[in-house]
Amino acid sequence: MAFQVNEEAVSVMRDLARKIPNSVEGLLAANQEVMRCYEEVKETVGPHTAEIEQIVQKINGLIKQSSANINEVPQRLEKLASRCEEIIRNRPNQSF
């Protein structure tokens, strides 16, 4: 998706910057629920316990690692939106 430097693009970037932290929090909360659920049933899953535990731990690690990187995106979007606003302000008015 390409953005034009206009007010709509600035609005979309700022909106996305506001939504990302909530999405990350939702993902982390869902991951905690998976971890909690696994802890509750791990004694009852039989011969697949080790395999399931590896999968759950791998997902947990990847989510934590990814969320740290994703949490940098809102600040970058805000900076980009500010730069775009400056470009818009400094753009010569075009009258037709």
| CATH (domain of 73) | 1.10.287
Residue 1, in any domain of the structure = no
| pLDDT for the residue 95 | 57
> How many degrees, rounded to 5, is the angle at CA 78 between CA 19 and CA 21?
25
Residue 27, in any domain of the structure = yes
Residue 40, in any domain of the structure = yes
Say if residue 96's pLDDT is above 60.
no
Q: In sequence order, what are the residues at sequence separation of 6 or more whose Cβ sits closer than 8 angstroms to the Cβ of residue 81? A: 9, 10, 13, 14, 17
Residue 96, in any domain of the structure = no
Domain residues for the domain of 70 are 7-90
In degrees to the nearest 10, what's the CA dihedral of 55, 57, 62, 67?
130
Residue 78, in any domain of the structure = yes
Residue 42, in any domain of the structure = yes
Residue 84, in any domain of the structure = yes
Where are the alpha helices (H) located in 1-96, listed in sequence order? Answer: 7-41, 49-70, 73-90
Q: What is the mean pLDDT of residues 54-82?
A: 92
Domain count across the chain: 1
What pTM, to 2 d.p., does this model score? Answer: 0.69
Q: What is the mean pLDDT of residues 79-84?
A: 95
Residue 95, in any domain of the structure = no
